[in-house]
């Protein structure tokens, strides 16, 4: 038994760590190819990666920037070489749609993308955006809420033509904004003046306010609109309609004596920023009184027609309702 075991152990090969040259492992050291798990990067690849990290705008400029060639002279239309009268007709048709200088432009306000903007409309649809306590039907029975069937009447402003060049702006801006403007109410006037800015507001010449805001929620807009209107000191006519419901909502108030004094005080309360601005601009503090006009309402001819025409039994003009109204307005402006 012992001899068999001795033969078995002697048959195993002898492993000498020193002889094999490896002191820590059991196997001999072999020459292997080194394994690399990263990609070999060349110099060209490094340059490409540096270009990839450049700003996007810089890359677009180098790759997509192309100079636009101007049109040849035989293809460019010589618009500025046309006669001035022909250019004015083109401005009328492109900006307004009519060559009649007396035809007004109707403006109302609307909400677009949660913003209140001014929009051009027609005579039949020139209505306040927000209905107030007293319906407009009560004061304007001739106006209809239904939109016009004629789609061609629904015209829009085209002020982008003014941005073509400074020369066209200087010629066409006065043509557009010197037309008579009819705004639905003071809310529309406030939005319109804020939208066109100070420069274009100075070009306005004729404004008619259809509805004077009279409800508790909107009557403060009257003063705000007059503050912006103070920039238009070159107005030739400011016509206010619909004051009846604002001053005296009830018919029983028509029997009130000295009605014209109450009208003058209420007009001064809201319009004094514009009246004082016009007075400073023209060197006459009472100049705005002759520009401001009050239109009568068909429902209340008994009193407001007196203010408009001055038809009264008195012989002296200052004793007539219109004279008393202007006298009270002068007194308020002098104080």
Does a structural domain hold residue 221?
yes
CA-to-CA dists, residue 329 to 208, 242, 260, angstroms: 20, 19, 10
Helical (H) or strand (E) element with 308 = helix 301-309
Per-residue pLDDT tens listing for the chain (335 residues): 554 454 544 455 555 554 545 555 555 556 766 677 776 655 555 545 555 555 655 555 555 556 677 767 767 788 888 899 999 898 888 888 777 778 889 999 888 888 888 888 888 778 887 765 544 444 444 444 444 444 444 556 667 888 888 999 999 999 999 999 999 989 999 999 999 999 999 999 999 998 888 777 778 889 999 999 999 999 999 998 876 555 554 444 444 556 778 888 888 999 999 999 999 999 999 999 999 988 754 444 445 555 545 444 444 555 566 788 889 999 999 98
- Ramachandran region, residue 30 (left: φ > 0; alpha: ψ -120 to 50; beta: rest): beta
- Reading the block at residue 16, the tokens are 């000498």
Does a structural domain hold residue 4?
no
Does a structural domain hold residue 35?
no
Closest CA to 222 of 273, 284, 264, 158: 273
pLDDT value for 234 = 92
Does a structural domain hold residue 80?
no
Q: What is the pTM of this model?
A: 0.66
Does a structural domain hold residue 312?
yes
Q: State the residue range of the domain holding 118.
A: 102-163+177-334
Provide CB contacts within 8 A for 85, sequence distance 6+: none
- Reading the block at residue 27, the tokens are 């196997």
pLDDT value for 65 = 56
Does a structural domain hold residue 42?
no
Does a structural domain hold residue 305?
yes
Strand partners of residue 108 = 119
User: Contact at 8 Å (CB) between 278 and 235?
Assistant: yes
In the DSSP assignment, the letter for residue 13 is P
Does a structural domain hold residue 257?
yes
Q: How far apart are CA 172 and CA 87, in angstroms?
A: 9
How many domains are contained in the chain?
1
User: Contact at 8 Å (CB) between 264 and 288?
Assistant: no
Which regions of the chain does DSSP assign to beta strands (E)? 105-112, 115-121, 181-185, 206-211, 237-240, 292-294
pLDDT value for 138 = 42
User: Contact at 8 Å (CB) between 96 and 105?
Assistant: yes
pLDDT value for 252 = 44
């Amino acid at each position: 038994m012992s001899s068999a075991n001795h033969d078995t152990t002697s048959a195993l090969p002898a492993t000498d760590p020193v002889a094999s040259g490896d002191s820590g492992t059991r196997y001999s050291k072999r020459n292997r190819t080194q394994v690399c798990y990263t990609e070999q990067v060349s110099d060209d690849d490094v340059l490409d990666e540096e270009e990839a990290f450049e700003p996007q705008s810089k890359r677009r400029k180098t790759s997509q920037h192309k100079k636009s060639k101007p049109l040849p002279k035989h293809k460019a239309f010589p618009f500025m070489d046309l006669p001035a009268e022909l250019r004015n007709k083109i401005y009328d048709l492109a900006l307004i749609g009519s060559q009649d200088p007396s035809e007004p432009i109707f403006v109302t306000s609307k909400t677009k993308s949660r913003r209140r903007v001014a929009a051009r409309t027609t005579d039949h649809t020139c209505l306040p955006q927000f209905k107030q306590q007293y319906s407009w039907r009560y004061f304007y029975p001739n106006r209809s809420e239904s939109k016009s069937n004629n789609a061609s009447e629904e015209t829009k402003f085209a002020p982008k033509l003014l941005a073509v060049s400074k020369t066209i702006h200087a010629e066409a801006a006065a043509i557009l904004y010197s037309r008579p403007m009819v705004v639905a109410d003071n809310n529309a006037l406030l939005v319109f003046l804020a939208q066109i800015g100070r420069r274009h507001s100075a070009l306005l010449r004729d404004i008619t306010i259809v509805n004077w805001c009279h409800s508790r929620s909107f009557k403060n807009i009257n003063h705000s609109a007059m503050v912006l209107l103070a920039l238009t000191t070159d107005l030739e006519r400011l016509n206010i309609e619909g004051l009846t419901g604002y001053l005296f909502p009830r018919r029983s108030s028509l029997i009130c004596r000295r009605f014209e004094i109450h009208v003058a005080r209420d007009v001064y309360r809201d319009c004094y920023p514009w009246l004082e601005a016009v007075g400073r601009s023209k060197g006459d503090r009472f100049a705005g009184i002759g520009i401001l006009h009050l239109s009568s309402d068909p429902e209340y001819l008994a009193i407001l027609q007196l203010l408009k025409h001055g038809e009264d039994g008195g012989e002296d003009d200052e004793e007539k309702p219109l004279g008393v109204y202007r006298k009270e307005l002068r007194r308020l402006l002098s104080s």
